[in-house]
A and B are shown apart, each in its own frame.
Chain A
């Protein structure tokens, strides 16, 4: 299985400030057509996960543009340009290149 490793595991943030989460895969997530098969999900407290970003950098429907994704190969990043209080929760990256789909350990984002 492809192993997904996130850092940091805990991220205290200040509202209005930027935040960044890294995700590394144990092998390249490059698909033959030039796409990288990686998603980002956010699990808010007491809720089920919700899709934020797919194919590295595409925001899901309704996701604010303060969220952005980037990366290639085995290194990927989720950035929040200006953190808001509603952004707290656990963020997961997930690879969709190879079965079974696998998730990172999660990064817990909380307000300082």
Chain B
């Protein structure tokens, strides 16, 4: 059974870089898309971006200038870096797997079917 586990600092200073890693266990990172999603306190979920195991990425335009998602297939991990953080970046950060669940035309429909437990990151001096 595939499981995801986020890790990284729980406190980041304003203007610095938030760095998180998601470790995939119970399965391989290959052949899937891997995502980051966050949830500020009391607010709704926000999609950050995803990476394919081969390295291609897609980012939310609202965060694109500050976000980098990378993958390390040898470690079965993928990572998130968000630079120049402010208090508005305080949130629970989730990693999730985007899985092809159904054929749609010449492609497949993907949903977030496996999530990590989430990690709270606070931006404060």
- A residues with a Cβ closer than 8 A to B are 31-33, 35, 37, 39, 41, 47-51, 54-55, 58, 60-61, 92, 94, 96, 99-106
Contacts and interface: CB of A to CB of B under 8 A. Distances in A.
Chain B interface, >50% SS class? strand
Given A101-B47, A103-B45, A105-B44, 13 more contacts: A33-B105, A48-B94, A48-B115, A48-B116, A49-B112, A54-B101, A54-B102, A55-B101, A58-B101, A61-B113, A94-B45, A100-B61, A104-B44
Contacts of A32: 105
Interface residues on B, range: 20 to 34
A55 B105 CA distance: 13
Given A54-B101, A105-B44, A100 B111 contact: no
B46 interface: yes
B47 to A, nearest CB: 5
A96 B110 contact: yes
